[in-house]
Amino acid sequence: MKSLDDLKKIRDAAQRKVTMRDKQDGIRILVGMATCGISAGARPVMNKFVEEITNRDIKNVTVTPVGCIGECSIEPIVEVLEGDNRTTYCRVDEDVAQRILDEHILGGKVVKDNIIGKFRV
Amino acid sequence: MNELSLHILDICQNSISANASLIEIKIQEIIDANTYTIEISDDGHGMNAKTLSQVSDPFFTTRTTRKVGLGISLFKMACELTGGTFSITSKETIGTSIKAIFKHDHVDRAPLGDIEETLTVLLMNEAGIDIRYVHTYNHQTYYFDSREVKQILGDVPITDYNVILWIKNNIKEGLLSIQKEEKNEVSR
């Protein structure tokens, strides 16, 4: 491993930040990451969320990989959890991930084109 | 799955389900011997002999949401398609390890792909596992060890997004540099 000095800078900057990221607070994004999800393209979707959240410095949003959500034929599946509300998105690609961030997480409006009801009733 | 790193991600999810705390991923590319070896070992709860004999069967799975389990069988197939060999050993309470030796120059040998994405996705898992990744290309070796990163980070979580981006870059650049150094050595 090289350039560990850069890592120390990142650590110092993170320690200066007053905001504490608590898992229970804010919005959680879960990405299904079992065999079905991975082969349908879940990894670049998760990557997209992480990159956008970092580059745009979006607060109070955590992204977590999870196991099989149970609807393998309509993977990649992404779930957005806000308090007691759970929204399940299906067939998510990088473009849909971008829309979920812009329209749902930041805009407060569910992206209706990809909610699970479109695929399963 | 068209990247070896996607198979690695999938196989490591098994380690996480087996409550592993450390996963070691070793990749060894030896051009002269025409081998591309991937070894994944964990310290999870392991399997008994009966389960071990069933894991390569696509109609075996421990999950309850469906009746097929494809992870290990797909990885085994990808390996054997290149004329390679695949083996898996496991000991209850000790851990499990998988070794796949691909033929390096075989047309069906998938590229590694974005291994840095695979490793960071694994680190972001809530189980908080540690990863040691060692990649050898002929004579040059790169390694990444999340335990060393955590030691430097102190109370800053490894899942901090700026840390994740640093890790990605470190792995990407590290792998490029061992390829470059190897080429320099050959041309000397």
Model confidence over B148-179: pLDDT tens digits? 999 999 989 999 989 999 999 999 999 999 99
A16-30, A51-65, A96-110, B95-109: range with lowest mean pLDDT:
A16-30
Name the residue in chain B with its Cα closest to that of A34: B10
Contacts with A44 (C-beta within 8 Å, 6 or more apart), sequence order? A93, A94, B117
A and B: number of Cβ contacts within 8 A: 102
Which residues from A are below 8 Å from B165, CB to CB?
50-51, 54
Amino acid of residue B113: G
Between A42-55 and B115-123, two packed helices, what is the crossing angle to 10 degrees? 70
How is chain B split among helix, strand and coil, in percent rounded to 5?
Answer: 40, 25, 35
Token digits of residue B109: 């040998």
User: Which residues of A make CB contacts under 8 Å with B?
Assistant: 1-4, 6-8, 10-11, 13-15, 21, 33-35, 38-39, 43-44, 46-47, 50-51, 53-54, 62-65, 67-68, 70, 72
**Alpha carbons B34 and B27: distance in angstroms, whole number:** 13
Contacts with A20 (C-beta within 8 Å, 6 or more apart), sequence order? none
**Alpha carbons A107 and A101: distance in angstroms, whole number:** 8
**Quick one: pLDDT at residue B184?**
87
**Alpha carbons B16 and B62: distance in angstroms, whole number:** 13
The beta-carbon neighbor of B152 closest among A8, A43, A51 is A8
Percentage of chain A with pLDDT > 90?
A: 65
Positions of chain B with pLDDT lower than 50, given as ranges: none
**Quick one: pLDDT at residue B68?**
61
**Alpha carbons A28 and A77: distance in angstroms, whole number:** 14
**Quick one: pLDDT at residue B109?**
95
**Quick one: pLDDT at residue A26?**
86
**Quick one: pLDDT at residue B70?**
81
Place of tokens 């350039």: A3
**Quick one: pLDDT at residue B182?**
85
Which residues from B are below 8 Å from A33, CB to CB?
9, 13, 121
Token digits of residue A76: 């990649």
On the question of pLDDT at A46 being above 90, the answer is: yes
Determine contact: B165 vs chain A, CB below 8 A: yes
| SS3 per-residue string spanning B58-89 | CCCCCCCCCCCCCHHHHHHHHHHCCCCEEEEE
Nearest-CA neighbor of A29 among A4, A10, A52, A7?
A52
Distance from CA of A38 to the nearest CA of B (A): 7
Buried b (16+ CB within 10 A) or exposed e, B160-181: bbbbbbbbbebbeebbeebeee
Model confidence over A70-85: pLDDT tens digits? 888 999 999 999 988 9
Domains of chain A: 22-118 (3.40.30.10)
On the question of pLDDT at A19 being above 70, the answer is: no
Domains of chain B: 4-187 (3.30.565)
Token digits of residue B46: 């392991």
Query: Chain A interface, mutation test: which of B1, B55, B68, B121, most A Cβ atoms within 10 Å?
Result: B121
Q: Between residues B175 and A1, which one has the greater pLDDT?
A: B175
Determine contact: B75 vs chain A, CB below 8 A: no
Name the residue in chain B with its Cα closest to that of A41: B1
On the question of pLDDT at A18 being above 60, the answer is: no
Between B161-187 and B115-123, two packed helices, what is the crossing angle to 10 degrees? 150
